[in-house]
């Protein structure tokens, strides 16, 4: 319940645009933002909303189809790791309960391995969150830069130069 409420609040925060004043000097009215239309692609707000609703949908909207399997592979790997370590922690806790009921204490090695599995589970949860946020940022940035032509003569080289260890040359 708390996670779904938090996800809803974060989605609203990413999607809202707040304006303190209106610009009366602008004569052209802006067209309304249609959320569920792929006809006019590469609006950053729509890409952000799509990516927040369903991971990978923002990349589909930006027509970067090759990124969708990457997003789902990363999310799947983090989810698998979280579920794997969660089962280890649950099994360890159940084993510890039985040992305590029988008047025994678990070994230091067993406690340490359970704590290590707990840390790994927590890192996997953080990785899932980071991947989710990064795919939203990727979709937004990609929508911003979609129409910029970067196919011109761009060059960067590392060349050894006399009197210095490394020099960096770039051209635009």
pLDDT digits (tens, 9 = 90+) for 59-69: 998 888 999 99
User: What is the C-alpha to C-alpha distance for residues 113 and 107, in angstroms, rounded to an integer?
Assistant: 10
For the chain, domain boundaries = 40-148
CA 20 to chain centre: 30
Q: What was the pLDDT predicted at 42?
A: 73
CA-based end-to-end distance of the chain: 52
Q: What was the pLDDT predicted at 144?
A: 87
pLDDT digits (tens, 9 = 90+) for 112-150: 999 999 999 999 999 999 999 999 999 999 988 877 766
């Amino acid at each position: 319940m708390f996670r779904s409420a938090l996800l809803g609040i974060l989605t609203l925060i990413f999607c809202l645009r707040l304006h303190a004043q209106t610009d009366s000097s602008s004569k052209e009215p802006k067209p309304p933002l249609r959320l569920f239309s792929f006809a006019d692609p590469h609006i950053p707000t729509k890409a952000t909303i799509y990516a927040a609703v369903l991971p990978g949908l923002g990349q589909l909207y930006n027509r970067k189809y090759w990124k969708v399997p990457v997003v789902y592979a990363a999310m799947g790997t983090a989810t698998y790791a979280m579920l794997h370590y969660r089962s280890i922690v649950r099994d360890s806790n159940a084993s510890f309960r039985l040992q305590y009921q029988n008047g025994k204490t678990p070994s230091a090695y067993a406690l340490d391995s359970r704590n290590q599995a707990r840390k790994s589970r927590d890192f996997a949860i953080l990785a899932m969150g980071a991947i989710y946020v990064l795919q939203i940022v990727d979709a937004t940035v990609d929508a911003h830069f979609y129409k910029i032509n970067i196919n011109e003569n761009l060059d960067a080289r590392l060349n050894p130069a006399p009197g210095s260890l490394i020099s960096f040359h770039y051209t635009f």
